Amino acid sequence: MRESIGEVFLLGFRGSRVPDWLRDFAARFGLGGVILFDYDVKARAYDRNVHSLEQVRALCADLAALPSRPLVFVDQEGGKVRRLKERLGFAPLPSAQDFAALDEAERLRLARASFRELAALGIHYNLAPVVDLNLNPANPDIGAHGRSFSADPAIVRDNARLLDRAAREAGLGLCLKHYPGMGGATTNSHDERTDLSATLREDQLALFHELGAELAGEAILVSHGHVRQWDARHPVSMSARALGRLRERLPEVLLISDDLQMQGLQKTLTTAQALSLGLAAGLDLLLIGNNLLDQEPDCAHLAEGLAAACRADDALARRLSASRARVEDRKARFVRPPSSTRPDERRE
């Protein structure tokens, strides 16, 4: 079990090349995925993983050579949340709010250029689109940064499907976020507990239910927001009851946690506790960005601890097996042999 526990880890790291600790982790435990950032929170500088087109391509090739063949993820929503920026030579992509205001031909042109570039670099998943409805334009994490297409579900649905068209052409996976919908919140889960109980809407949930199995990659990122009517104690990401509702609709969707280092979660759970609770609740990939906190030296210990918990709990071991199978399925779809150069042939 220890040799495969890393398949449910999605890890961030510092540096423009694969660090030794990450190579060791992948060799000992396997590795489900990695996430790339441009901005380093601790250093307060844009010197983390992204420096140029060629450097990112080389980094992705180095990651692809790891025996565990990890999936490579990036947040390339557009606008402010865009790790690969135009000033470094990457394809332009406006914020979701600005994108939605363009005509269809221009939206498709921009999406195609960006997604083909991502696939050519060796990136497998874009952690986008945001399908949160813009219910509170002053929302400190969504509305204030133009990350929502609209408050109108029809406009959100139309843009998500257009992006899916471009992603499928490129052979790129997409990941809807942030379940069950953060657009009406008044707080930011990066910083504090976020309650979604009063803003939960059926038309918002319908977007995740409809698009979750429809979009390339069949993946949903789960927020740390609280919905008291689902679970009075745990946030959605840690709630078997909340995630069970989603699994009933989408049994094979890949469920990815929002960063377990967010303070909205860390104020009540340690990273180790969140790993076990999140896996038990139904998550498939457990994201430790190592950006909001520096837990790079602890990752091996965290993997050992989760493996031990699975050995001691048959139900948790079964959950691990199901999650590993979903991760391996996505690797089979998107991680191509080094000699392959045609991303449009990726199986969907």
Catalytic residues: 190, 258
Summary count for the chain: helices (H), strands (E): 11, 11
Work out the end-to-end distance of the chain between its first and last CA atoms, rounded to an integer number of angstroms: 29
Residues 164 and 218: their CA atoms lie apart, in Å, by 11
Residue that is written with structure tokens 């398949």 in the block: 7
Q: Which two tokens stand for residue 332?
A: 């089979």
CB atoms within 10 A of CB 19: 13
Residue that is written with structure tokens 């430790």 in the block: 288
Residues 270 and 295: their CA atoms lie apart, in Å, by 11
Q: What residues contact 277, with CB distance under 8 A and at least 6 apart?
A: 234, 238, 269
Kindly write down the DSSP assignment for every residue of 218-265, as one continuous string: -EEEEP--B-TTT-SSS-GGG-HHHHHHHHHH-TT-EEEEPPTT-HHH
Give 169's DSSP letter.
H
Q: Which two tokens stand for residue 153?
A: 């579900």
Q: What residues contact 137, with CB distance under 8 A and at least 6 apart?
A: 143, 144
3-state helix, strand, coil in the chain (%, to 5): 45, 10, 45
Contact between residue 144 and residue 159 where contact means Cβ atoms under 8 Å apart: no
Contact between residue 66 and residue 23 where contact means Cβ atoms under 8 Å apart: yes
Residues 279 and 94: their CA atoms lie apart, in Å, by 35
